[in-house]
Amino acid sequence: MALELVQPGIQPLGQFDGYDSVYLTVRGGEVGTIIGVQLWTDRCAADVILDGYVGNTRPVVTTNLTQGDRPLFLIDDGIWGYGTLFGSVIGGIAGQISYGLGQAPATQLGPHTAAASGKLTLWDKPGTYAVTLDAVDTTAATGLVPTNATLAIGAALYATPVGLLTPNAGAAFEAVVVGRFLNFEPWKGGSLVTTPLRLVSGANSPVGQGQPQANAFNRALIHFNPPSA
């Protein structure tokens, strides 16, 4: 669902057009690269088509990775935990918005970074980022998920052929380390002090739970440090 900025590198890149077959599918937190496409075969804003180009090609951002692709970026969706976030819709269908279970609100008022411009925001500087667990390799035994019993703090992270972060080198587009895993966290909503449901729920709790609840993790905290060559 989102890339969240924790202690990111400065000055993200915002001038590159998203590949038409990819940009509307970006959830945030995928690894992407820049490739060349033939002029007039991919839609773009007027300022993009007027940029300089090489032969009959121009650059676009894609999450479809192949051996040797460089440079590598984290792609920002812009919807969650970013400067374009305007808040959440409250008062819709009851139960859709829950902060206590480590989940993000159901409806956000932030536009995707590709909205209108067709461009995607890219982070290439080393830094600490968080990626929600629906936007990574979710394979139960080998993915970037709490059910992976072999996952350790500091584990190397790779990218799958569709740009999903994974600790499984065998699932990677290339055996190149793009970052390191730090830990899993529940959703914090931007607050440093959050009391999760598991700490207030019990047999006689007013929230109605019959037993203490397990912690619900929402995101993976990573250190992103992509190779330059």
pTM of the model: 0.81
DSSP code of 214?
Answer: P
Tokens of 35: 């490739």
Distance CA 222, CA 159 (A): 13
Selection from 33, 89, 55, 94 nearest residue 226 by Cα: 33
Domain span at 217: 1-229
Q: What is the 3-state secondary structure (H, E, C) of 18-56?
A: ECCCCHHHCCCCCEEEEEEEECCCCCCCHHHHCCCCECC
Tokens of 73: 């970026």
Distance CA 176, CA 229 (A): 10
3-state percent helix, strand, coil for the chain, nearest multiple of 5: 5, 25, 70
Residue whose tokens read 């002090």: 193
Torsion of CA 168, 173, 177, 183, to 10 degrees: -40
State whether residue 47 is helix, strand or coil.
helix
Between the alpha carbon of residue 148 and those of residues 26, 141, 168, 184, 209, the distances in Å are 24, 5, 10, 12, 27
Contact in structure between 131 and 222 (CB atoms under 8 Å): yes
Question: In tens digits, what is the pLDDT along the chain, a chain of 229 residues?
Answer: 688 888 888 889 999 999 999 998 999 999 999 999 998 899 988 888 766 778 889 999 999 999 999 999 999 987 765 544 455 555 555 544 444 444 444 455 567 888 888 999 999 999 999 999 999 999 999 999 999 999 999 999 999 999 999 999 999 999 999 999 999 998 665 455 555 555 555 555 555 555 555 567 889 999 999 998 8
Number of domains in the chain: 1
Distance CA 28, CA 1 (A): 6
